[in-house]
Structure 1
Amino acid sequence: MLDTSLDAFVAGLPKAELHLHIEGSLEPELMFDLAQRNNIALPYNNVEALRAAYDFSNLQDFLDIYYQGADVLLTEADFYDLAMAYFRRAAADNVRHAEIFFDPQTHTDRGIPYNYVIEGLSRAAKDAEALGLSVSLIHSFLRHLSEEAAFESLAMAVPYLDRIIGVGLDSSEVGHPPSKFANVFAKAKALGLKLCAHAGEEGPPAYVYEALDVLHIDRIDHGNRSLEDPVLVAHIVREGLTLTVCPLSNHKLCVVSDLNAHPIPDMLKKGLRATINSDDPAYFGGYVNDNFLSLTRLGLIDRDACLTLARNSITGAFLDDARKAVLLAEIEAFAAKH
């Protein structure tokens, strides 16, 4: 029997989302709307046919349809509408702060000006304040492309550094170790940007070591396979680094074969600062609360674990101490009432 009281607790719990690819929040309905607005023909007859195409079982198959979907994003208004759709959904899940990745190379390589992307997203981020949501933007590099291409992308971002909190590293992990991007990450750090990278999703623990020791990241995205190396786990715990974990994504992409075997409980038991996030919710079957509920309904996490995960999402955010204090106080006030 479902614990409806725990469902309600998750629904009302203040939280941050730290691992969200804005292009991955493009729902089929909005994709069709934007395609029509921009006179783009999609290879699907209707929304249902497009949703059926989301039946993939590995990272590369997902990325293929992900990049195809991004083709409907052409104008500043498109990026604004994409982001606002996510912010409204996140606010409904009582997300109080969101740090969203965007993949500029996916767009600039199609001839879309960088300023269209950043202007649309940053305008939406400003308007999200009316929803009670603070937002930070993270410029991600595509790891299947060269470091030279990443440098070119970073150069496009320089005039807009006041709107960007950090850089990330995503796309196909295996065969593209973090060390490939050592120089561009050093440059981003010199520019005052925070650093994070996908590591240990499909790639081995060695990739997590590289992300920490070569890129000197401030936060680990995914990090599941860190658990294979006790020395690495102890290091991450000692450094107080946050892991942005994505349960439904892990299941959809077969990082875990069964949600019952998801490592979140083990991460918390070992003292890792894990958080729960939705990654690419339009493709993976749920937003942040859906990810929480996927674990609570299996009995993998309880009320106290949910509180810990929510607190971790605030302490792990790229926020100033004053904003963190406000959000942590909201969590404690909510806990006291429930």
Structure 2
Amino acid sequence: MNSTAVPASGIEAFIRELPKVELHVHLEGSMQPETFLRLVRKHDVAGLPRSLEEVDAYYEFRDFPHFIDVYIASVEVLRDEEDFALLTADVAARLAAQNVRYAELHISLYNHLMRGIPASVVFAGVEHGRREAEREHGIRLRWIPDFPGDFGVEAGERTLDAVLADGPSSVVGFGVGGIEVDRVPFKGIYDRARAAGLHSLPHAGENGGPQRVWDAVTVLGAERIGHGIDSMKDPRLVDHLGQARIPVDVSPTSNLRTRAISTIEEHPLPRMLEAGLVVTLNSDDPPMFGTDLLNEYRTAHALGLGAADLALLARNGVAASYLDDADKRGLTAEIDAVLAGA
């Protein structure tokens, strides 16, 4: 790693000035408590928190399965096109305030389909919010619809069918998340998604071991790996990811809050960079985990990464995104200029 020194007083300004992209952040998991409570009251949803204090207690996760349970319950507040537009506009404004220029957001589409909300309603709402955000803040958003793998192949097929029928051109990829189960049964789904022009962007190797990552790459044709920290348990996999230049989208605070790691100090992010992996930095479900992308950069700095390393993470995010080449060159030049002025 190249740990160009910046005085402690200047690292905060450096982090804020860095142009950023975010590639692993969930739309629904980015819902702020105030928006959550507004929608709870709008729809009078029973069994959910009714105050900020109750929301804070609600987000105290015991483990990863408990987080999934809370996440699924929380999306209950999203019911109509207006709700999805409101959420998207709020999330985009908060990203733009962190100097995020472009983001690819996961949408938990199956969780809405299973509640009887048509994909057309979801996409109409998020597209309204996306257009509004681009006008007001200049940030560009793209979508990665996904399904929870623990709900099985049928959930994946139904989600993909909905994307192919109603997905706008701003959909760039297809994801699988949820509790980390075997990825091999989803081969047919991903073959179909890729044939339709969708990029393969699965979660793998957060807490399921390196074999999940191997399967994501060799069976699902993964172009990026969501989380992927268990890759470090297999040197041969690390070599493969590095040589193939397959990006790994890392979210340190998320890994701590879901108990994928016991302490932030043990997070493998520095070792991943040292091993030559293409690592991007992300916030995953920021308000649920008490973080945002700025805080993830602060966390990376606290793990020993200097200004050049932070700039590399930002540059990796641009390279791993689905921005066009001209936009990538322009954004990379801006990152380099900020680093040069540090």
The normalised TM-score by structure 2 is: 0.95
In structure 2, the partner of 1:129 is 134
1:330 lines up with 2:337 in the alignment: no
Cα distance per residue 1:265-309 (max 9 Å; x no partner): 10110100101100001111111111111232x242111110000
Contact 2:308 2:339 survives alignment (8 Å): no
Distance 1:181 1:28 in 2: 34
In structure 2, the partner of 1:142 is 148
Distance 2:57 2:9 in 1: 30
- Which of residues 161, 169, 176 in structure 2 aligns to 1:162? 169
What is the aligned length? 334
Alignment root-mean-square deviation, CA: 1.3
Cα distance per residue 1:55-89 (max 9 Å; x no partner): 11311101111111110100111011111111111
SS of residue in 1 equivalent to 2:66? helix
Distance 1:106 1:179 in 2: 22
In structure 2, the partner of 1:319 is 323
Offset of residue 42 of structure 1: 4.3
- Which of residues 262, 277, 302 in structure 2 aligns to 1:257? 262
- Which of residues 98, 103, 112 in structure 2 aligns to 1:107? 112
Distance 1:260 1:300 in 2: 10
In structure 2, the partner of 1:308 is 312
1:232 lines up with 2:237 in the alignment: yes
**Which amino acid in the other structure matches residue 10 of structure 2?**
S
Contact 1:259 1:295 survives alignment (8 Å): no
In structure 2, the partner of 1:294 is 299
1:89 lines up with 2:83 in the alignment: no
Residues 152 and 43 (structure 1), Cα distance of their counterparts in 2 relative to 1, 3 Å cut? closer
Distance 2:94 2:169 in 1: 26
Cα distance per residue 1:170-190 (max 9 Å; x no partner): 0000xx211121000000000
Distance 2:40 2:48 in 1: 11
**Which amino acid in the other structure matches residue 306 of structure 1?**
L
Percent identity, please.
34
Cα distance per residue 1:108-129 (max 9 Å; x no partner): 1111111111111122222222
Contact 1:200 1:223 survives alignment (8 Å): yes
Offset of residue 6 of structure 1: 0.6
Runs of 4+ in structure 1 deviating by more than 4 angstroms, as ranges, are none
**Which amino acid in the other structure matches residue 302 of structure 1?**
G
In structure 1, the partner of 2:77 is 72
Q: What aligned pairs does 1:139-288 form with structure 2 within 5 A after superposition?
A: 139-159=145-165, 160-173=167-180, 176-288=181-293
Offset of residue 46 of structure 1: 1.2
SS of residue in 1 equivalent to 2:169? helix
SS of residue in 1 equivalent to 2:150? coil
The normalised TM-score by structure 1 is: 0.96
Distance 1:12 1:116 in 2: 36
Distance 1:74 1:118 in 2: 13
Distance 1:92 1:262 in 2: 27
Offset of residue 45 of structure 1: 3.9
Distance 1:77 1:148 in 2: 29
Cα distance per residue 1:168-219 (max 9 Å; x no partner): 110000xx21112100000000001111111110111111100000001111
Contact 1:260 1:300 survives alignment (8 Å): no
In structure 2, the partner of 1:24 is 29
**Which amino acid in the other structure matches residue 170 of structure 1?**
G
